[in-house]
Copies of this chain bind each other. A is one copy, B any other.
Amino acid sequence: MYTLYSMQRSGNSYKVRLALAKLGIPHKLVEVDILQGESRTPEFLAKNPNGHVPLLEAAPGRYLAESNAILWYVAGGSTLAPEDRIDRADALQWMFFEQHSLEPNIGAAFFWLALIKGGRDLQRHAHEDWMEDGYRSLGVMEKHLAGHRYFAADRYTIADIALYAYTHVAHECDFDLTRFPAIRAWLDRVAAEPGHVTMDWQAETLAVAE
């Protein structure tokens, strides 16, 4: 059985939990509180030298990092992972876009503005860049979704799961989605998919360890 090292309130971890739930794959969850330094212990760094969650133990002692790579692994062979060459490339295109153009701004904003008590003051210098880059990325997504129901392969795939994780909480960290009607309709479609589970996070209850 898979063991998933994850943090409940992490969007990257939520992606994998959502995929495992939709696929009905049994797994054991181990909560790693990165704010208490639990991803920087020698024990955890021996499993993932990059010190990030989520981390999948795919087989005993065989670890896999990076949320979007884990999605390809757990969804391999299912309809969630398109294997046609151009469809796969399209899904990958959006998943690399997610890690390069969306997670570093909307993900960072969610972490500091919605999850961390006092995070807004600590990160005041970064706010303008998060907003500018985040809105730019939302604009790229809106343009695609104006003409497509999903991101790749004309169906719900792990590319949608990857992009949903932080986009569906963007309004919790200062992003106004009212000007993105196609994104809002897509968020509703994803949430209405059979087997959907929610992220279940709580706002501003965490404090960074001293």
Contact = CB atoms under 8 A, between A and B. Distances in A.
Interface of A: 49-50, 58, 62, 64-70, 72-73, 76-77, 85-86, 88-90, 92-93, 95-97, 99-101, 103-104, 137, 139-140, 143-144
Contact of A72 (B92, B97, B140): B92
Contacts of A140: 49-50
Contact of A99 (B72, B90, B96, B139): B96
B66 A92 contact: yes
Interface of A is mostly: helix
A100 B97 contact: no
29 contacts: A49-B140, A49-B143, A49-B144, A50-B97, A50-B101, A50-B137, A50-B140, A58-B86, A58-B89, A64-B90, A64-B93, A65-B93, A65-B97, A66-B96, A68-B92, A69-B89, A69-B90, A69-B93, A69-B96, A70-B89, A73-B85, A73-B86, A73-B88, A73-B89, A77-B85, A95-B96, A96-B99, A99-B100, A100-B104
